[in-house]
Amino acid sequence: LDDSVSTPRGLAVKIIGVEGERLDGSEGDVTQDLVLVNGPAFGAPTPKAFLATLKLLAATTDKAEGFKKVVSGAMRGVQEIIVATTGGPNATVATMGGQPETHILGETFYSQVPVRFGDYVAKLCVTPVAPELTALTDKPLTENGGPNAIREAVVEFFRANGGLWEVRAQLCTDLDDMPVENAATVWPESKSLYQTVARIMVKPQTAWSEARSSAVDDSMSFSPWHGLAAHQPLGGIMRSRKRAYEMGKRFRAERNGCTIAEPREAIKLP
To the nearest 10 degrees (0 to 180), the angle between helices 236-256 and 47-58 is 40
The DSSP code for 228 is: B
pLDDT in tens, 141-161: 875 567 898 999 999 999 999
Determine the average pLDDT of the residues in 24-48.
Answer: 96
Q: Which of 27-36, 61-70, 199-208 has the lowest mean pLDDT?
A: 61-70
pLDDT classification of 64: cutoffs 50, 70, 90: low
Q: How many CB atoms lie within 10 A of CB 68?
A: 18
Select the more confidently predicted residue: 94 or 30. Answer: 30
**Among 71-85, 93-107, 158-172, which range has the highest average pLDDT?**
158-172
pLDDT given at position 67: 45
Residue 76, pLDDT above cutoff 70: no
Using CA atoms, how far apart are residues 237 and 183, in angstroms rounded to an integer?
Answer: 7
CB 125 within 8 A of CB 108: yes
Classify domain 10-48+105-256 at the CATH topology level: Catalase HpII,  Chain A, domain 1 (2.40.180)
